[in-house]
Structure 1
Amino acid sequence: MTAITLIDGEGALRSVPLAEAPAFQKPRHPLASRVAYAAAHVVPKPFADNTPGEPAEIDWDATLAFRHHVWSWGLGVADAMDTAQRNMGLDALATRELISRSAAEAATVGANLVVGVNTDHVGDESISLEQVIDAYKEQLHHAEDAGAGVVLMASRHLARAARTPDDYRRVYREVLAAAGAPVVLHWLGTAFDPALAGYFGSDDTDAAAATLLQVIEYNRDKVQGVKMSLLDADAEVSVRERLPETARMFTGDDYHYVGLIEGDERGHSDALLGAFAALAPNASAAIQALDRGDVAAYREILAPTEPLSQQVFAAPTYYYKTGVAFLSWLNGHQAAFQMVGGLHAARSIPHLSSIVELANASGALERPELAAARWHSLLTLNGVDVTAATPAASVDADTDTDADADADAQDAAAAPAADDVEVLA
């Protein structure tokens, strides 16, 4: 049995047994009991100038291969969302190209895709409500022309320009009137983006929810649902129970998704989650269990992943993207732990160590030996002697010796990068 070394905030080392990868099976039929999207990230070229303020240089092969990985597990992809580092390294030109490329790729396999539509190509300057509407429409038309479904994201420009709930109702009415098909609205909380304080016209959640529900009710034929990302399960359930029958609730709550997706006798949430980008096999297997009517298996599969997601999305929550990309690297979906805008440096080594521990415990390491090798190489790069860890008590005497484990890790780490990137079509 191979062990994996962990480190805490004081520099203390310990090792735990490396768990085997779960024997999840890809679905033979489309997932039926829940609609689920994984909000996917982008993979930059490892040799690019991935430093703060520099334009994004995307490794399109790896980025699109990751989307095929998600689709192969029966999930849809939500692209060009904040998970893709939009406004945090992914510039407007790269965002447009991402939408076009992902839509074309989805069409080749008949996969589900929605993409984010915002006003962020305008820049940081303040603009009028009329200009907000025009900016939304520009991106809306680009997304629809590319053949993608739409998530109408919360706009910083609208939050800055709006003075009353009526301003929100007006902007959404005019933008939705221009939509060629029903869209998903997005309510993003301040944990993800502090610039969105007071969205929908109030800092009071109940008052803001009332405005959101009015927008949906007044535009029933143009709204297929709403993604709520407040990290407040009670608020989500409250809105969910008041939605018209034409609209779905897509949970964006990466802290409480297990119970929200399971639901109760009054309803359930579907999913549009950044966490599912890191957990596609687990999420798929859990929903397959719901499709069979096996709620116990659903909980057994998905409940252990929630502490991992809570760690990935720990405060400051807007740096959660680092954990998503880190797990992608550990699982062999990208050759390097690099992110546009230098965001791979946004989390500490002990924080990443906790992600490793929780991923190992929850079955989120798709290729455990590779993950261990890559993690140990990162520790070594940061001056940590992985052989100095206290051995795991449960590692049997007849398992690999430390030397054998180190040799295995070195062999795995030295494997060609092309072999590490698994394309699951």
Structure 2
Amino acid sequence: MTNDEIIDHYSALARATADGRIVADCGPDAFEEGCFGAASYDDTSALPYGAVRASLGCGNPVAVADLCPGETVLDLGSGGGIDVLLSARRVGPSGKAYGLDASSDMLALARRNAEQAGVANVEFLQGGIEGVPLPDRSVDVVISNCVINLSDDKAAVLAEAFRVLRPGGRFGVSDVVVDGDVDPARRLAAEQRIGCVAGALPASEYRGLLAATGFVGIRITLTASHGDGVHSATVQAVRPTAGPGMEIRPMRPADAEQVLAIYQAGLDTGQASFETTAPSWEGFAAGKLPHLRYVAADTATGQVLGWVAASQVSARPVYAGVVEHSVYVHPGCQAQGVGRALLEAFISASEDAGVWTIQSGIFGENTASLALHQAVGFRVLGTRECIGCHHGVWRDVLMVERRSSAVGGGGRSR
């Protein structure tokens, strides 16, 4: 269906709900099996019947969002408002719950349900989930319930979720995913049976889009099978944590000049590398893995404060999960938590990508870098003595590595 057809479809369901009719977005068997609608919720007794009756989701995102009092939460595609109302109760009067929906009929229904429930800390907004009408870094949690799969521009949806989340903010949704490339006949059978499979992604592709957007700590958990390779799932991720006035995001070509300037400033200290001149952007990009490059940026000015990136250690399959990394901080921003924020985001992203070992070499005189790496779990393996001549001096290099406890061999030493 096109976006307009989707809006018309759900508007009709909202009107049916307002008229007191039972609505369903999939076949009765799916509801009887407890996979869709209000059957996903443990307790709806405190909610207006209209909100429960209009529930058309495939799970309970509030259950995985881990909401806390005082937080601000946004529900993408909020429908009749069941998840907004549940969220509003969780965050309490000091928090707020937004609902965003493209259907004016659904918004009218949701507002009536909120009024009937006596919930004041809610606000319903009209718009598409590809263009959220809220400022940057304005919410703590983004939830959604069986809506993102319907969008024909999921990259835009995830980019908007990332944009409106504060650093450290959480993404927790229920959605529909498929096993690999489901053949057209099986997909059609699933669509006819449960009604909301159109546009569903393979879990691996969903994970890749989240990572490319900048999310870390990505977890996709299958919660129910609907046959024909179709599953309900919870999808969780985090926008990287950063200090005040700073954000961690993927490196972009537009960052090239600032990234290379920071690189050169580090080389000029004589304590960062045996290299003396930063490469061209083309050379830099060719030598770094495209999915493990991040910058720390000032949220007010956009200035790049530092960067981290990884290189492949070997093309041999046995080393697929081993990378070498570099991290550089602007000389005017050192000792301000920039390096640690970059490394913590990088470590989480690397584990999402299946990396089990991160390694690097540090000059022994670079005590600040060594202390930083040890603070985030790196250990010194040993010293390569007089390994290279740098500005006429033969120098030792400390070899450091961090073994993941979540990926690969569990951090066990051999």
Q: TM-score range by the shorter chain?
A: under 0.3
The higher-RCO structure (CA 8 Å, 6+ apart) is: 1
Q: Give the TM-score taking structure 2 as reference length.
A: 0.25
If each structure's helix is expressed as a fraction of its own residues, which one has the higher value?
1
Specify which structure has the higher proportion of strand: 2
Q: When the two structures are superposed, what TM-score results if normalisation uses the length of structure 1? A: 0.25
